[in-house]
């Protein structure tokens, strides 16, 4: 895996602009959804089995996170908490990059071994998070 810092090429996709726009829009839409009192999402897996799915607690985690209750957010769903921290870090990077017009950071996965390692890491993180949720199912 290689990290490269370079200017955006002519016609290249501006990932910073796209993903910053998507994450800010998602937060605004979610806040509006909850503010006007629309119903919370229902987990069909949880309704059918009584057990938490892989993303159970995601909404409550996000609400706690954005209210600044980080310990409570981490308790609801550690993986989503970690992802939210990553999105905030990326948004800060993307905003700074876009406003200062500096070179962009690009990650290049150069070997099959590195690609496999990334895939196994993501699958392991999801599995470990689900195990955590299953061990704390009484909270759901």
Q: What is the pLDDT of residues 76-134, one digit of tens each?
A: 999 999 999 999 999 999 999 999 999 999 988 889 999 999 999 999 999 999 999 99
Q: Is residue 7 part of a domain?
A: no
Residue 130 burial (10 A CB sphere; 0-12, 13-18, 19+): middle
Q: Is residue 87 part of a domain?
A: yes
Asked if 76 and 56 count as a contact pair (C-beta separation under 8 A), the reply is no
pLDDT value at residue 98:
95
Q: What is the pLDDT of residues 25-62, one digit of tens each?
A: 999 998 899 889 998 888 888 889 988 888 888 988 99
- Written as six digits, the tokens of 50 are 């009584």
Q: Is residue 59 part of a domain?
A: yes
Give the chain's domain count.
Answer: 1
Q: What is the pTM of this model?
A: 0.86
What 3-state class would DSSP assign to 16?
Answer: helix
Residues spanned by the domain of 68: 14-139
């Amino acid at each position: 895996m290689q990290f490269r810092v370079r200017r955006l090429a002519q016609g290249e996709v501006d990932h910073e602009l796209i993903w910053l726009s998507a994450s800010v829009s998602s937060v605004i839409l979610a806040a509006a959804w909850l503010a006007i009192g629309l119903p919370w999402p229902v987990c069909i897996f949880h309704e059918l089995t009584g057990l938490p799915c892989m993303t159970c607690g995601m909404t409550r985690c996000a609400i706690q996170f954005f209210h600044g209750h980080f310990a409570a957010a981490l308790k609801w769903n550690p993986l989503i908490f970690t992802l939210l921290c990553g999105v905030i870090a990326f948004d800060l990077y993307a905003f700074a990059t876009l406003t200062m017009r500096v070179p962009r950071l690009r990650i290049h996965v150069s070997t099959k071994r590195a690609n496999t390692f990334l895939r196994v890491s993501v699958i392991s993180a999801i599995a470990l998070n689900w195990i955590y949720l299953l061990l704390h199912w009484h909270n759901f």
